[in-house]
Amino acid sequence: MSSDHPATATQVLQEADRRRTFAVISHPDAGKSTLTEALALHAQAITSAGAVHGKGGRRGVTSDWMELEKERGISVTSAALQFGHRDHVMNLVDTPGHADFSEDTYRVLAAVDCAIMLVDAAKGLEEQTRKLFSVCRHRGVPVITFINKWDRRGRESLDLLEDIENILGITPVPMVWPVGAAGNLRGLVRAGDTEQMLRFTRVPGGTHKAVEERLTAEQAAAEEGPLWETALEELELVLSSGPGWDPEAFRAGKISPVFFGAALTNIGVGLLLDAVVDLAPEPGPRPLAAGGARPVDSDFTGLVFKIQANMDPAHRDRIAFVRVCSGVFERGMNVTRAASGRSFATKYAHTVFGAERTVVDTSYPGDVVGLINATALRVGDTLYAGKKAEFPALPAFAPEHFAVARPKDISRSKQFRKGISQLDEEGVVQVLVSDRRGDQAPVLAAVGPMQFDVVLHRMEHEFSSAITLDYLPYNIARVTDPEGAATLNRQRLVNGEVLTRRSDEVLLALFADKWQMNGFVRSHPEVKLETLIATAD
């Protein structure tokens, strides 16, 4: 749609109603990347799926493009995938599964309207899943539960639902129930239609959709006998003892619809994808930092939730991922960065599917747009057109690992400074500086140690400046102020100091452990020491 014929408010609302913007969250190895691929496969966005831990000859999943991800079989960056399903536009924002990248996941959850919580049938609710669920609750993101790997031996279905209710404090409401125990998956039955069973015949390797067959209740009883009867009894038990399906309770985070299946063999994935269309909320008004909310059909606003460089090594470019929050985005339009008040033209804009790109001309609320080489943008920025708007800042997680970075080759200092600055802007690590150490020895602060592995890899391979890391004996960071910094510096702590976070000039007081920090607090109760978001608990 060209700017000569701007979209009306009605058109914007109609397009927003067709959008579903969601993420998949899970513990590492629960099958998140596999499910991401399977969802795209079911929507016919790709022709065949590849698993992360595939055998020789199997390609890696489309959404994992970084060399480090391919080497380790993990997702450490977020990818934005857009595809169509049932006349809806699906925006799936992939998240890192590893606990060391919690901060990146938090930023992604600021850009979605719903999350699919992936639970391993054998392992149940693992630590990282619990933390990510807490982040969803904190952000008010409704959660759909998918119990994965039901084609392998695992726990009892009723026990898994009990854990969800007791540990997470949310009521599970089954929408789909398995026929057969974990490891003996005979089929699935929908809560709203117990007169038929869905049977799936897996495709070898799971590269294509499983073949679906529908059996009547009589056929299911004849062929599956006690397994069919048990499934119906369990489903009836859970449904009769719970509150039942309530869209408002779902959006309020009080209940979670539950699905069973196996992402690797594409069983139950189509039902899950339909559920995102039918149950997940459409984009709505977004709260503003100054109070109130920006209506979906007002002027354009967008939130920068991720910045990634060198997705295309041949071009050495930089992509800012922007969630469209209101209005219409049109390529080439002038938008203003709220933090600086400066406007710029969005000449290069793409939708991104893994490493593949498509030029985007028009996007609506819920869509994710990749702005190419918008070098002034930072994670958390608000972009707007028309009336000024600014969304609340994205909070930073408390780092627990610290290391001084230095270039191995001092003649590569220019590349070193550029690389460290780039990784700071992307949010790969937090960069802390001090007068004592100077620019040639910044302190890198990470939530998890694997972030340092990413820095080492990218500094050497992308910025041509291999680095060394000297690890510091700190484990705790607290926000302080100039008066607090002066007091701390006078104490000359053996294992403690105050550094400035480069991205926002916030002063962070670093301590070796809680005993040292508590001792300082007892001696100086007047000093400001504020907690950052350390975990989602």
What number is the average pLDDT over the span 338-361?
76
Q: What is the pLDDT of residue 131?
A: 79
**Is the predicted pLDDT of residue 59 greater than 60, yes or no?**
no
Instruction: Round to whole Å and give the CA distance between 3 and 335.
Output: 14
What string of H, E and C letters represents the secondary structure of 435-455?
CCCCCCCCEEEECCCHHHHHH
Max mean pLDDT among 89-103, 278-292, 315-329 falls in 278-292
What number is the average pLDDT over the span 398-404?
92
Residue 318, class by beta-carbon neighbours within 10 Å (0-12 exposed, 13-18 middle, 19+ buried)?
buried
Instruction: Round to whole Å and give the CA distance between 305 and 381.
Output: 8
Confidence of residue 409 (pLDDT cuts 50, 70, 90): very high
**Is the predicted pLDDT of residue 124 greater than 50, yes or no?**
yes
pTM, entire model: 0.81
Tokens 């969800």 label which residue?
A: 164
Q: What is the pLDDT of residue 532?
A: 80
CB-CB contact of 143 with 256 (8 Å):
yes
* Mean pLDDT estimate for the chain: 85
Instruction: Round to whole Å and give the CA distance between 513 and 494.
Output: 12
The residue ranking higher by pLDDT, 209 or 453, is: 453
Both tokens of residue 196? 């038929």
Q: What is the pLDDT of residue 357?
A: 63
Buried b (16+ CB within 10 A) or exposed e, 134-162: ebbbeeebbbbbbbbbbbeebbebeebbe
- Cβ neighbours of residue 367 under 8 Å, at least 6 residues apart? 19, 21, 82, 89, 91, 323, 324, 329, 351, 360
The residue ranking higher by pLDDT, 426 or 231, is: 231
**Is the predicted pLDDT of residue 53 greater than 50, yes or no?**
no
Q: How far is CA 48 from the centre of its chain?
A: 24
Confidence of residue 50 (pLDDT cuts 50, 70, 90): very low
Q: What is the pLDDT of residue 78?
A: 42
Instruction: Round to whole Å and give the CA distance between 480 and 470.
Output: 24
Confidence of residue 472 (pLDDT cuts 50, 70, 90): very high
What number is the average pLDDT over the span 416-432?
90
Q: What is the pLDDT of residues 14-26, one digit of tens each?
A: 999 999 999 998 8
Q: What is the pLDDT of residue 76?
A: 33
Confidence of residue 13 (pLDDT cuts 50, 70, 90): very high
Q: What is the pLDDT of residue 182?
A: 96
